[in-house]
Amino acid sequence: MVDVISTLGLAIICAVAAALFGWRGAQPLDIRKGPRLIPWRPMMAASALAALLLVVHLVNLLGIATGR
């Protein structure tokens, strides 16, 4: 049961991070501040991928086979 709770918590954290990074990446560029030094969109994609993998892992922990 601890694995299910920790996996669900990490999946929620990754999904919230993906939403935050997506919002930050969609902000218009302010040339006066200079170039963006943080690549928000690749960070969004990586955290969304991690959330997806954690959801698949959670489904496997609950007993549903998703692979061979």
Q: Is residue 42 part of a domain?
A: yes
Q: Is residue 68 part of a domain?
A: no
What's the structural domain count of the chain?
A: 1
Please give the residue range of the domain that contains residue 55. 2-61
The reported pLDDT for the residue numbered 65 is 83
Q: Is residue 66 part of a domain?
A: no
Mean local confidence (pLDDT), 5-19: 97
User: Is residue 25 within 8 Å of residue 44, measured between CB atoms?
Assistant: yes
pTM of the model: 0.85
Q: Is residue 67 part of a domain?
A: no
Neighbours of 7 (CB within 10 A): 19
Q: What is the spatial distance between Cα 35 and Cα 7, in angstroms, rounded to a whole number?
A: 36
Per residue in 15-48, pLDDT (tens digit) is: 999 999 999 999 998 889 888 889 999 999 999 9
The reported pLDDT for the residue numbered 49 is 98
